[in-house]
Amino acid sequence: MTYTIRDGVQWLQKRIPMESAASWDNTGLLLGDPVSPLRRIGTCLTVTAQTAFEAIQRGADLLIAHHPLLFRGAKSLLANRPQDQVILDLIRAQVAVFSPHTAWDNAPGGINEQLARLAGIGAASPLRRAPAKKNRFKIVVFVPAEVRTKVAQAMFGAGAGVIGNYRECSFRLAGTGTFFGTDAADPVLGQKGRLEEVAEERLELICSAPALPAAIEALRKSHPYEEPAFDIYPLEADPGQATGEGRVGMRDEEIDLGTLAGNLARSLGTPFVQIVGSPSRKGRKIALACGAAGEFLTDAIAAGADFFITGELRYHDALTAEAAGVGVVVLGHHASEQFAMASLGVEMARALPGLIHGACDHEVDPMMTWPAQREG
């Protein structure tokens, strides 16, 4: 099977609802040529000199990096600036870069939900719910019955037809279409200059906002008509399908803070974590948010959580947690997210047969521990 960067991006956009990214974020394909071949992918938390070098050495065509390579507007790229040199190296090696960032944090089965499972939470809901917004559309197109499968498959391939954990969803209804071709028309069926009736099907598919342009392009390219008839309807958000940031839920059984912290450290393969509160403090309700998410402590307190798990926490926020009686596990930014990038790469390689995945194994947490030394 031959893939392009666009194929990889389309799979990522179907797997991760990109509209769930924070409004301030910069996600998606940030570097590269969509039509370039895709044979190997690499995954990492952050594009650094080391991870870029490893991706280039392994021959990666696409590097999926959690943190955006380009975050603020760049006015120049100069080789004498270390991070700019990294970008120039990737461009020369023709390595594309895709960043899912907060969309992957918040996605179904994304980082926060994976952390929730590690913490023993069975069913988790968003800790900070997103306001309802119109981010889905229904595309209705009318096609001759004999090409309905061709058009539907093209639109499925562009990201349409996804509803929750199901893909290639559609509705089809038989009917009759009419047209009168003018002298300038070139109809595929029937003749111009007279009223024609054609057996057609009404094809309906749901489509997310980010996938809409590609789905319409696929519709036009696959449809046999000179002027295909289609409608696009914006859909109201389903109030029963809450989305948002972070997660909160209940364990089946109580656990103490020390045991929770130890379990998470072992599961994530990190040598240490920090805690706020007594190790013997017990509880069942756990709130969490990966990465630099100390700001979600107030949400955890408001939710009545016994424990809060995050990647980073400021000193004064730790004092707030102590005063509120909320135990905290601080995993470290790297440990709270890096594991889920490797799992995303594995999932993508399984979904696209023949694609080769390699995690950047030498990526390390820059925040290292150092033992205290006594003089003399």
Domain identity same for 73 and 14 = yes
* Residue 165: predicted pLDDT: 67
Domain identity same for 12 and 76 = yes
Domain identity same for 88 and 142 = no
3-state DSSP assignment of residue 368: coil
Any domain includes 365: no
Domain identity same for 147 and 77 = no
Contact 315, 288 (CB under 8 A): no
Rounded CA-CA distance 216/205 in Å is 11
Any domain includes 373: no
Separation in Å, CA 119 to CA 79, 274, 371:
44, 15, 29
Domain identity same for 168 and 216 = yes
Any domain includes 376: no
Any domain includes 230: yes
Which among 63, 18, 16, 107 is positioned nearest to 290, based on CA atoms?
Answer: 107
Any domain includes 364: no
Which parts of the chain register pLDDT below 70? Answer: 71, 73, 131-134, 165, 188-190, 237-242, 372-376
Of 235, 265, 293, at which residue does a domain stop?
235
Domain identity same for 141 and 120 = no
The alpha carbon of residue 285 and the mean position of all alpha carbons in its chain are separated, in whole angstroms, by 26
Q: Which residue do the tokens 């390689």 mark?
A: 349
Contacts of 24 (CB under 8 A, 6+ apart): none
φ, ψ dihedrals at 329, nearest 5°:
-115, 120
Domain identity same for 298 and 229 = no
Any domain includes 25: yes
Tens-place pLDDT, residues 159-187: 999 887 688 999 999 988 787 877 777 77
* Residue 132: predicted pLDDT: 54
Contacts of 339 (CB under 8 A, 6+ apart): 114, 268, 269
Q: What share of the chain is helix, strand, coil (3-state, %, to 5)?
A: 30, 30, 40
Angle, helix 333-351 to helix 257-268, in steps of 10 degrees: 50
Domain identity same for 309 and 345 = no
CATH number at residue 57: 3.40.1390.30
Domain identity same for 28 and 119 = no
* Residue 239: predicted pLDDT: 53
Contacts of 194 (CB under 8 A, 6+ apart): 180, 181
Any domain includes 46: yes
> Which residue type sits at 376?
G
Half-sphere exposure of 161 (CA within 13 A, CB side): 23
Contact 244, 267 (CB under 8 A): no
Rounded CA-CA distance 221/198 in Å is 20
DSSP strand pairing (128-129 vs 244-245): antiparallel
Domain identity same for 10 and 87 = yes
Angle at 266 between CA 265 and CA 270, to 5 degrees: 50
Query: What separation, in Å, do the N-terminal and C-terminal C-alpha atoms of the chain show?
Result: 65
Helices vs strands, H then E, count in the chain: 11, 19
Q: In total, how many domains does the chain have?
A: 3
CATH number at residue 171: 3.30.70.120
Q: Which stretch of DSSP H or E encloses residue 141?
A: strand 136-144
* Residue 296: predicted pLDDT: 97
> Which residue type sits at 14?
K
Of 190, 215, 235, at which residue does a domain stop?
235
Domain identity same for 39 and 83 = yes
Domain that holds residue 203: 136-235
Angle at 195 between CA 193 and CA 198, to 5 degrees: 120
Angle, helix 5-15 to helix 333-351, in steps of 10 degrees: 120
Of 184, 216, 235, at which residue does a domain stop?
235
Which among 183, 302, 169 is positioned nearest to 248, based on CA atoms?
Answer: 302
Surface-to-core class of residue 308, CB atoms within 10 Å of its CB (0-12 exposed, 13-18 middle, 19+ buried): buried
Contacts of 171 (CB under 8 A, 6+ apart): 202, 203, 204
Domain identity same for 100 and 26 = yes
Any domain includes 249: yes
Look up residue 273 and give its two tokens. 């974590």
Angle at 298 between CA 297 and CA 303, to 5 degrees: 95
Which among 15, 20, 38, 53 is positioned nearest to 241, based on CA atoms?
Answer: 20
> Which residue type sits at 205?
L
